[in-house]
Amino acid sequence: ISFTEALQHFQSAELSESRGKVRAPGRRGILAALLRCLRGPPRLRPQLRGEQELALAMAQCALDDSQRVHMRILQTIYRQLTRSRLGCPRYGAHWEQLGFQGRRGSTPLPGEIPIPKIQLNLPWSNSVLSQLLQPLPSFHSAGIPVVFQNFPFCIMSVNITRMVIQALREGRLSRECNRRQQVIGVLNDLYAAAFLRLFRLWKGQHGTIADAGFFLKELELSTKKKPRQLLKSLEAYMSR
């Protein structure tokens, strides 16, 4: 399934339950409003709020085995990340290739925890991440460098998605969304930019599972405080 087709599905789907879970920003006092004007991020333009609401609602959708589109998304992600031409069973040890450990480990398999739908959309959303996948851990190769063995790809992906969505919810991405006149495109690129940053941290510091928490804290700070810097780093990488 293509990203465009998946997005169209959610645009036309009944997401009332998910939209109801989207936490609306609380009312601000006069002082808070003044501080926001002086040094806070700008407000998202009114014409982009519908797209923001859609993105936040998608993030509340849990993976549903009864939804054919959800299963097609899951299969597409597996094929893209493993470079396999074949599909795969819904459950099984093959998911460990992507960083899940199953019921015997501490990390559940897909479906055992709610996986935000926006995260499932992002990995094949456009050419940016498809090109970025090349330097990331190659799961299908028997010659994976030691530095990338046991790389918790999907769990890091879920965490990066949470960070990106939280940055959107807090208005940290409003300036960039306003500049580009889009929301989901900014989310896609920031997700890819955060993964590029993670790759460089993991490779440069010979990361292991024990370092994951430290790396996630660094990524969370960057997505909230320096999203434009992350995006510029991605742009520089893609223009090489």
Structure tokens at 228: 């434009």
pLDDT confidence of residue 118: 41
Q: What does the pLDDT read at residue 136?
A: 45
Q: Using the CB atoms, write b or e for 126-157: b if 16+ within 10 Å.
A: eebbeebbeebbbbeeeeeeeebeebbbbbbb
| Burial of residue 23, with CB atoms counted within 10 A of its CB: 0-12 exposed, 13-18 middle, 19 or more buried | exposed
**Per-residue pLDDT, 167:** 93
**pLDDT digits 0-9 by tens, 186-195:** 998 999 899 8
Give the pLDDT score at 236. Answer: 92
Return the pLDDT at 127: 44
User: What is the model's pLDDT at position 88?
Assistant: 83
At residue 215, the pLDDT reads: 92
DSSP state string for 181-232: T-SHHHHHHHHHHHHHHHHHHHHHTT--GGGHHHHHHHHHHHHHH-HHHHHH
Nearest CA to 63 out of 114, 17, 122 is that of 114
**Predicted pLDDT of residue 25:** 52
The DSSP secondary structure of the chain, one letter per residue, reads --HHHHHHHHHHS--HHHHHHSPPPPPP-HHHHHHHHHHSPPPPPGGGHHHHHHHHHHTTPPP-TT-HHHHHHHHHHHHHHHT-SS---SSSGGGGGGT---TTSSSPPBTTB---HHHHHGGGSSHHHHHHTTTS--TT-TT--GGGTT--HHHHHHHHHHHHHHHHHTTTTHHHHHHHT-SHHHHHHHHHHHHHHHHHHHHHTT--GGGHHHHHHHHHHHHHH-HHHHHHHHHHHHT-
Low-confidence ranges of the chain (pLDDT < 70): 15-40, 99-150
For residue range 152-184, what is the model confidence (pLDDT) as tens digits?
777 788 889 889 999 999 999 999 999 999 999
CB atoms under 10 Å from CB of 171, counted, come to: 17
**Model confidence, pTM:** 0.76
Q: Which two tokens stand for residue 26?
A: 């609380």
